[in-house]
Amino acid sequence: MTKLSVNINKVATLRNARGGDVPNVVKVALDCESFGADGITVHPRPDERHIRRQDVYDLRPLLRTEFNIEGYPSPEFVDLVLKVKPHQVTLVPDAPSQLTSNAGWDTKANQEFLEEVLEAFNQAGIRTSVFVAADPEMVEYAAKAGADRVELYTEPYASGYIQNREAAVAPFVVAAQTARQLGIGLNAGHDLSLVNLNYFHQNIPWLDEVSIGHALISDALYLGLERTIQEYKNALRS
């Protein structure tokens, strides 16, 4: 069964827009778990415009499911992750000013850097995942660098889904098959939604995990959080 990790960054964005502690990020994370989420994802950025470092510390002892921290492996980020020791760390190549992740790593060009960072996390017993495009070579070099998993950057799939879903998913199937042949795990995320998730899963049923935030939180405005999480879980059952 593919796991659903709920990215709660948007909840923190809403809180920060007004100040104070409404909505409460920790309570929402715990509610997500009680409603069926298999994990919680956060992406603390240097400017703390959504998830704050303190949120990460507050969440860690209370979560009962898998905790995934994603971000660019700056010294500050590495220090945070090693102190908190989540179940998984996902490395993304984001610059500090980026609005959201918009590309995967060039794992070939950055292999030496990634090897060093991944080794530190692996030695700490933290499962590692590297954010990559649907490119078999990028998957291969992520594995060579020591990643336990790759997370496929699915925005191109989401963008192409309406026009031609078969063509949109095809390169992701090839990349996913490469990961399976190499013996590493497979995650996916970015712009997956109730519109396109089920078809993606049908074509790549061996996915370990999907991480979904923006679309899921947006759907919850209309459907409610509990029903929304169940709808996403249902999309991963067929």
Is residue 119 among the annotated active site residues? no
Secondary element (H or E) of residue 210: strand 209-212
Of 50, 66, 190, 209, which one is the catalytic site residue? 190
Query: What DSSP assignment string belongs to 94-146?
Result: --TT-SS------TTTTHHHHHHHHHHHHHTT-EEEEEE-S-HHHHHHHHHHT
Is residue 33 among the annotated active site residues? no
Of 43, 66, 151, 201, which one is the catalytic site residue? 43
- Residue 19 burial by Cβ neighbours in a 10 Å radius (0-12, 13-18, 19+): exposed
Of 33, 66, 70, 151, which one is the catalytic site residue? 70
- Give the gyration radius of the chain's Cα atoms: 17
Is residue 190 among the annotated active site residues? yes
Which residues are known catalytic residues? 43, 70, 190
